[in-house]
Structure 1
Amino acid sequence: MVVEVDIASLSTGDSPRISGVDPEHVEALAVAQNPLPPITVHRSTGRVIDGLHRLRAAEIRGQRKIAVQYFDGDAADAFVLAVESNVTHGMPLTTADRKHAAARIIASHPQWSDRVIASVSGIAPGTVAEIRRRAPGGRPAGESRIGHDGRARPLNGNEGRRVASQLISENPNLSLRQIARVAAISPETVRDVRNRMRRGEDPLPQRGRQAGHDEPPAAPHGSRGPTVVPDREPAEDRAAIVKRLKADPALRFSETGRTLLRLLAMHTISMAEWDKIIDKVPPHCGEIVACLANDCAQMWADAALRVQRKVAETA
């Protein structure tokens, strides 16, 4: 919701821009005839998260009030949103700004993976990893990280790969998701393990074997090995996946991302719920509802193809 707020009540400290605002950009916004888009403000502190140039332009225009959208969250998440907002639109952050921001996010969100922080700060995951290594304390051994899907995984995935290879050997018909859940690794890592086994290669990459623990630890007496979690209902799987996506800052901190999450959440209901809905469709509306359902299905299918192409192009 957009509200009008007194400019004098807003704070402009703690910006991710090391050198502050760009006077030329402020002047360009001030002389433009178009209304200034709403700025984003941290509700609990009144600090401007996104829109500092617009705020300065409004002051030059002589405005006493400005349109504001509030963000509810802690200060650390507010800074993350400030960084991501200024990476994805408006006047972009400099490389120095992005690296400095990444260092702060590493300190405030150490559980986030390098890829997650990279997606927020607009730099390469390798750069984030290097910044993390140089940070005080370095990289703790045995640390786990939260990835884009919201799941925590250990930095060293060797044990997960070993578990996955054992499951694949015992039951090659298990899905990637089933194995991933048991082994606590990503489905893509499971796919890599499976492909390596099909080629007759070691499931562990060379660097993983060199890191030690070449042999899996002996199982305790009487141990039956990893237990396979049976497949849940597809709706439950979708709901769990959407829940993990909601933890991804690249989605939850942007309006388009939140829209996508809302759309995906609509399709997490079970078949029993669908049956109830379908049973209540009035007969005289049936053809229209069926036509719209087909149109929606086609739009989702088109969206899936476009997303897959985008992934392939950036791989």
Structure 2
Amino acid sequence: MEIGRQPSVRPALPAGRDDRDEESRAATVMVPVSELLPSDSPRLRGEDAEHVRLLAEADEWPPLLVRRSTMRVIDGMHRLRAAQLKGQSRVPVRFFDGTEEAAFVAAVKLNAEHGLPLSRADRLGAAARIIASHPQWSDRRIAETTGLGASSVASVRARSTAPHEQLKNRVGRDGRARPLDPAAGRLQASRLIAAKPGSTLKEIAEQAGISIATAKDVRDRVRAGQDPLPRKQRDAVAHEARPGSSAGAIGARSSGRAPAPASIDLSAVLERMLRDPSMRTDTGRALLQLLRPHAEGKWSQLAAGVPEHRAATVARAAKLCAEQWLRFAQQLEAVHAE
């Protein structure tokens, strides 16, 4: 493209579009160099002087991308410096209408795709900044933007000090929100299926925040009397529930005393759970088996049957079991809190 020649006009991007929009599609216009401001570049070391000199030898360049509201260059700082080096008064520009955060994302993506490649340090720094401004984006989506691997983005996120633990979903490359904890979505789906067996897969998926394919898998598992969680997710949940893990540590942050239990008929509760189809899974049966001795309430008989020399040991074991039940109860309340 020769400087000054106008390409075909593309439709402009409305200012109200969300941060996924990467660049305005407005026509290229010639803009005075003096009106343009330096970019908020992902390049940690700024412009490369040698690259500027090479560009200055070229007769034409692609248009610069400039944020309309600030006249700050998003993509094309090397081209702008080359134009200044050649003494050009105007450069071809396409305008971007979006937020500052969206402009930075566009700068990273464009720099990662063409021109002078971003260094790995540039990409990692950009990933950290995008995680801070777009914590809801998935690792894969940020990886696609920065040119990093998803595992590298996950490592950057793990080192981030930003408090994003409250997020329950991440937005993927297709723009759809998915739960951070897929097990939570599956468990919610199983509860919905138990409460409303006639619900469609679309209704289950929307209410549980999972895909329709996952909703179908959960429904098939529940109908077959299986656990709604695949083995890998069951193992992960079990790991989180262990004492000392982040989930198991919930009890350690409490007062250390069990709250006074509500006055309920545990035998009646157990009977209702035994009749609940959603409890006819491996996990449900195991839980009911653990609850049965508590419902029978034969504590006096059990205590009388403990040899005197084992009384202290059994008492300590009983207290440990009570603490583990408390942690389990607190975990359930935390996971299923509205």
TM-score range relative to shorter protein: 0.5 to 0.7
Matches within 5 A, 1:28-43: 28-33=54-59, 35-43=60-68
Q: Is residue 147 of structure 1 aligned with residue 164 of structure 2? A: no
1:72 Cα deviation after fit: 0.8
Matching residue within 109, 116, 124 for 1:99? 124
Among all aligned residue pairs of Structure 1 and Structure 2, give the percentage whose two residues are the same amino acid.
49
Distance in 2 of aligned mates of 1:142 and 1:109: 11
Aligned to 2:237: 211
Helix, strand or coil at the partner of 1:93:
coil
Distance in 2 of aligned mates of 1:208 and 1:120: 29
Q: Is residue 46 of structure 1 aligned with residue 46 of structure 2? A: no
Q: TM-score normalized by structure 2?
A: 0.55
1:146 Cα deviation after fit: 2.0
Aligned to 2:50: 24
1:174 Cα deviation after fit: 5.7
1:13 Cα deviation after fit: 3.9
Distance in 2 of aligned mates of 1:172 and 1:149: 29
CA gap of 1:181–1:27, structure 2 versus 1, over 3 A, is same
CA gap of 1:38–1:125, structure 2 versus 1, over 3 A, is same
Distance in 2 of aligned mates of 1:197 and 1:86: 48
Helix, strand or coil at the partner of 1:211:
helix
Deviation sequence 1:31-67 (CA, Å, 0-9, x none): 123x211100011111110111111121222211101
Helix, strand or coil at the partner of 2:148:
coil
Deviation sequence 1:57-80 (CA, Å, 0-9, x none): 212222111011010111111111
Distance in 2 of aligned mates of 1:107 and 1:122: 18
User: Do the aligned partners of 2:56 and 2:85 also contact (CA within 8 Å) in 1?
Assistant: yes
Runs of 4+ in 1 over 6 A off after TM superposition: 166-173, 194-201
CA gap of 1:179–1:74, structure 2 versus 1, over 3 A, is same
CA gap of 1:30–1:137, structure 2 versus 1, over 3 A, is closer
Helix, strand or coil at the partner of 1:56:
helix
Aligned to 1:156: 181
Unaligned runs of 5+ in 1: 226-315
Aligned pair count?
Answer: 216
Matching residue within 150, 155, 177 for 1:130? 155
Q: Could you say what the CA RMSD is over the residues aligned between the two structures, in angstroms?
A: 3.4
User: Which amino acid in structure 1 is aligned with residue 117 of structure 2?
Assistant: P
Matching residue within 117, 125, 129 for 2:142? 117
Aligned to 2:110: 85
CA gap of 1:188–1:91, structure 2 versus 1, over 3 A, is farther
Q: TM-score normalized by structure 1?
A: 0.58
Moved more, 156-165 or 36-45: 156-165
Distance in 2 of aligned mates of 1:122 and 1:195: 38
User: Which amino acid in structure 2 is aligned with residue 41 of structure 1?
Assistant: V
Matches within 5 A, 1:66-85: 66-85=91-110
Distance in 2 of aligned mates of 1:32 and 1:84: 24
Deviation sequence 1:202-259 (CA, Å, 0-9, x none): 4424453232599xxx9xx9xx99xxxxxxxxxxxxxxxxxxxxxxxxxxxxxxxxxx
Distance in 2 of aligned mates of 1:49 and 1:197: 51
CA gap of 1:179–1:149, structure 2 versus 1, over 3 A, is farther
Matches within 5 A, 1:157-176: 157-164=182-189
Helix, strand or coil at the partner of 2:178:
strand
Q: Is residue 62 of structure 1 aligned with residue 87 of structure 2? A: yes
User: Do the aligned partners of 1:146 and 1:153 also contact (CA within 8 Å) in 2?
Assistant: yes
Larger Rg: 2
